Amino acid sequence: MSEGRNEDNEQQIARWLKSNPEFLQRHPELLSQMKMPDLHAGRAISLHERQLEVMREKHRQLEHRLADLMRVAQENDLIGEKMQRFTRQLLLHEERSSLDRRLIALLEEIFQVPQVGLRVWPLGAARLEPGLELPLSGDELDRVDQMQQPLCGSPAQKPGVIWLADRGQNARSVALLALRRGVEPQAFGLLVLGSADPDRFHAQMGTAFLQRLAELVSAALTPALGALWAKEKRPHAPSEPSQASDRSQPANA
């Protein structure tokens, strides 16, 4: 019971001091007489010293927070600059038939993505056309359709990883970007970014810039979809590497 009364009394005193801040102004000697333990040095210090210590700690925390914000801002500026360069190079590329290869080359050059895989496929009933070889299974296509944002993390059990160099054996982290025409629910393609660095594309990372990249690539490929799909269905001579094989390897391989 006594402990309960003490807690009630402490709360009443605390409320009274908050309601009467001028009390300590009228009795400044109490600030130096009231002693509190120093959390760092283990000695007793005055209330005034403790207040200064708390303010210094808050100041240090704010400095660290400001440094983090400045670092993030600088990183965002750099990514924004790369996005602008990437967009400009896409707009300058006039050969629609080679746009997919150009996309891969720009991703490797500007964003330093060491491994890139890209595939497109028809939409709707065209997926069921007899003789059409799709790059993913039906379940994998459904999984890509359900992706509302880029999927990052370990390459294990993720569709499209085998399109990367060495069939993705050297990839330790990947980012999957579903490609869509506007807001259509079905995806017409998948862009796979891979890295040997396990922290390059981790599951907890922000995906805002990756989403913008997916929208940009989708918009760039949309006018050329007919030609790209025609290349997918066209038979290739045995002596020539297929276009699908070209896109499964880095452009500088």
pLDDT tens, residue by residue, 71-90 = 888 888 888 899 899 999 98
Global pTM?
0.66
Q: Angle at CA 199, nearest 5°, toward 88 and 221?
A: 30
Greater pLDDT, 73 or 226: 73
Instruction: Specify the pLDDT at position 207.
Output: 93
Instruction: Dig out the tokens for 186 from the structure.
Output: 């079905």
In this predicted model, what pLDDT tens digit does every residue of 204-222 receive, in sequence order? 998 999 999 999 999 999 8
Quick one: average pLDDT of 79-103? Answer: 87
Greater pLDDT, 89 or 94: 89
Contact in structure between 196 and 187 (CB atoms under 8 Å): no
**Beta strand pairing call for 44-46 and 35-37:** antiparallel
Integer angstrom CA distances of residue 121 from 133, 141, 163, 175 = 9, 10, 14, 19
Q: Which residues pair with 44 in a beta bridge?
A: 37
Instruction: Specify the pLDDT at position 231.
Output: 57
In this predicted model, what pLDDT tens digit does every residue of 16-63 receive, in sequence order? 888 887 877 777 766 666 666 655 555 655 666 767 777 888 888 888
Greater pLDDT, 225 or 168: 168
Instruction: Specify the pLDDT at position 60.
Output: 87
Q: Angle at CA 178, nearest 5°, toward 172 and 183?
A: 155
CA distance 155 to 200: 12
CA distance 252 to 248: 12
First to last CA, the chain: 79
In this predicted model, what pLDDT tens digit does every residue of 120-164 receive, in sequence order? 998 887 777 777 788 999 899 999 999 999 999 999 999 999 999
In this predicted model, what pLDDT tens digit does every residue of 177-190 receive, in sequence order? 999 998 889 999 99
Contact in structure between 100 and 201 (CB atoms under 8 Å): no
Instruction: Name the band, by pLDDT with cuts 50, 70 and 90, for residue 100.
Output: confident
CA distance 193 to 110: 13
Instruction: Specify the pLDDT at position 170.
Output: 93
Query: What 3 state SS string does 21-85 have?
Result: CHHHHHCCHHHHHCEEECCCCCCEEEHHHHHHHHHHHHHHHHHHHHHHHHHHHHHHHHHHHHHHH
Contacts of residue 33, Cβ cutoff 8 Å, sequence gap at least 6: 46
